[in-house]
Amino acid sequence: MILRIATKELYHNITTPRFITGFVLSLLLIPFSIVISINEYKSKINVFQTEQKQADIENQANVYSAYRPVIVKKPTPLSIFARGVSYNLGDRVKILFGDIPMMSEGKAESRDNPFLNRFFTFDFISVLIIIISLMSFLFTYDICTWERETGTLKIMLSNPVSRASVLTGKMLGTFLTLLPMLLFSYGLCILVIMFFPFIHFTSSEWVRIGLIFLLSVVFLVLFMIIGLFVSSRVKHSGTAIVICLVLWVTFLFIIPNLANYSAKSFVKVRSVENLNFDIQEIDKEFYMKFVEYNQKLPKADWNMTWMVIGGGEGNRIAGASQSYFEKERLMNIFREPLRIDYADKKWSIRKVYITKLGKQEKTAQYLSFLSPSEIFKKSINSLCATGAESHYRFLDQARKYREDLIRYYKENKFFSSYLYFTQQDPKSFMTADEMVNTLTNGEIKTLADLNAKNDPWVFKYFKNSPPDWDINVWKFMDLSQFPQFVYQPAKVSNDIEDSLLQIGMLTTLALILFYFSYRAFIRYDVR
């Protein structure tokens, strides 16, 4: 009897304009959204390739102080399905000893809180949510009221069939009506993707796509049950469709926007300008300390250097006197550990800021859970590795890599090495007098003789160059033994674990609503 009722319901549904409307919406919107997402993904890949080439250049170093590796995270092809917050954030991090990575470089710097979802993103999942939720309501808002109004429900229940069988048959028939739309949408999506050969999915990503489809089925059933719940509580189809449309607009558009706005109101985050001011004060304190230490060191016999490339976290020096090189080495022994200590001080401030951003994002997330569609979207973002958790994981790994690199420098005593700032052989270091004698080809014997000329253009007396003076032709070091960064994405099992709360919420909500819908239908007045 259940199958007969389901067959009748299925036949009735596929002969209505609603059925054709669902397929037309899928046919128009799904390919459009996929093509847009693919083009955006292609742009991300192009940016990644450009940044990776630039990083490969930057990651070459001829002295230890010049090696501050840049790491670039490759965008996931699953962002084609759900963008999440991945497009709000950059994917490039430079590992510095004087700063612990707070945020990736790029778009993240231009947003108050890049971890908050946008109001609406035109990707596959967002479009699918619109189509499936709307069609589920359109096929279930009158699942009880229409047959009551036409009198067929009364006739049906006059036969020896239980109301539970009738309800089960009608829901099964509706599900079999909507499932082809879902299959058609996913099939159309995969078909469009196949026309772009640069997109490749790993076996793990195919597993994730399968899980996304199963979650979509749960989402479909949930909105069917919401429609059933509304239909079982009212007597007229007009009332039911109005309630369903209000719920649809509320779930998909009002709650997500309201959640973000409320989170920003409830959880206040200090401005980036104030944060940077505090960081600058700490940098000034660091600068004053090493200047004070520098003044205590013995003065170099000659402050002339043939070539210096400075800035950032270290100087590259060539063509200086032995005492100048030695003073620079002693300075690095003190300055670089101090730089790392002050990075920890700055991180204590930045960590509070990041924690506030995370709390704001979590608040928005929990408030948005008033919407089943947002619960579903959060689960999909986790599976697609485009949610905030994925970026947190990337930044955590970048910070851990920084610690490993600093430990490697300390264990190998690079800070006390001349190679930290010069490739000039220490055996070739000369005193100031020896340098003057060599540079002037013996025409001037000592620095005192050179100073006695009282000529600001001393370089005109130089006939020779010091050894290894041209920093630009120094050979790059072999860095193969240095710690290398390898991004470890989350396993499928970990992302499923992250999604368990959302999956449990969807399932629990569906069961509760179905129970109350069943109770209401048992008592439903068919007159």
**Closest Cα partner for 374 from 37, 34, 82?**
82
Nearest-10 Cα torsion for 391, 394, 396, 399: -130
**According to the model, what pLDDT value does residue 237 have?**
85
Q: How many other CB atoms are found less than 10 A from the CB of residue 51? A: 20
- Tell me the C-alpha distance between 204 and 23, whole Å: 30
Nearest-10 Cα torsion for 267, 272, 276, 278: -20
Helix (H, G, I), strand (E, B) or coil at 70: strand
Give the amino acid at 60. Answer: Q
Whether the Cβ atoms of residue 352 and residue 458 lie closer than 8 Å to each other:
no
* Residue the block writes with tokens 């980036």: 272
- 217: number of CA atoms within 13 Å, CB side? 10
Whether the Cβ atoms of residue 163 and residue 5 lie closer than 8 Å to each other:
no
β-strand partners of 309 = 316
- Tell me the C-alpha distance between 482 and 490, whole Å: 25
* Residue the block writes with tokens 């700063």: 99
**Closest Cα partner for 127 from 380, 356, 461?**
380
- Tell me the C-alpha distance between 385 and 183, whole Å: 23
Whether the Cβ atoms of residue 328 and residue 419 lie closer than 8 Å to each other:
no
**According to the model, what pLDDT value does residue 440 have?**
92
Helix (H, G, I), strand (E, B) or coil at 433: helix
Helix (H, G, I), strand (E, B) or coil at 151: coil
20 torsion bin: left (phi>0), alpha (psi -120 to 50), beta (else): alpha
Radius of gyration (C-alpha) of the chain in whole angstroms = 34
- Tell me the C-alpha distance between 211 and 205, whole Å: 10
Each of the 527 residues of the chain gets a pLDDT tens digit; together they read: 678 778 888 888 888 888 899 999 999 999 999 999 999 999 999 999 999 999 999 999 999 999 999 999 999 999 999 998 888 888 899 999 999 999 887 654 445 688 876 656 789 999 999 999 999 999 999 887 666 656 565 565 556 667 777 788 889 999 999 999 999 999 999 999 999 989 999 999 999 999 999 999 999 999 999 999 998 888 888 899 999 999 999 999 999 999 988 998 899 998 888 999 999 999 999 999 989 999 999 999 999 888 998 877 878 999 999 999 999 999 999 999 999 999 999 999 999 999 999 999 999 989 998 999 999 998 999 899 998 889 999 999 999 999 999 999 999 999 999 999 999 999 999 999 999 999 999 999 999 999 988 888 888 889 998 888 889 899 999 999 999 999 998 888 877 777 777 888 888 888 998 888 888 777 766 55
- Tell me the C-alpha distance between 5 and 444, whole Å: 110
Domain residue extents for the chain: 2-271+356-404+484-522, 432-465
- Tell me the C-alpha distance between 231 and 523, whole Å: 13
**According to the model, what pLDDT value does residue 485 have?**
96
* Residue the block writes with tokens 């003057």: 436
- Tell me the C-alpha distance between 218 and 447, whole Å: 84
**According to the model, what pLDDT value does residue 108 have?**
46
**According to the model, what pLDDT value does residue 491 have?**
85
**Closest Cα partner for 337 from 406, 418, 405, 282?**
406
Give the amino acid at 40. Answer: E
**Closest Cα partner for 131 from 59, 218, 26?**
26
Query: The dihedral of CA 44, 50, 53, 56: what is its sign?
Result: negative
Whether the Cβ atoms of residue 46 and residue 72 lie closer than 8 Å to each other:
no
**According to the model, what pLDDT value does residue 157 have?**
56
Whether the Cβ atoms of residue 231 and residue 143 lie closer than 8 Å to each other:
yes
List Cβ<8 Å contacts ≥24 apart for 284-289: 285/342, 286/98, 286/338, 286/339, 286/342, 289/338
Q: How many other CB atoms are found less than 10 A from the CB of residue 430? A: 19
**According to the model, what pLDDT value does residue 149 have?**
58
- Tell me the C-alpha distance between 377 and 252, whole Å: 11
**According to the model, what pLDDT value does residue 524 have?**
60
- Tell me the C-alpha distance between 211 and 390, whole Å: 18
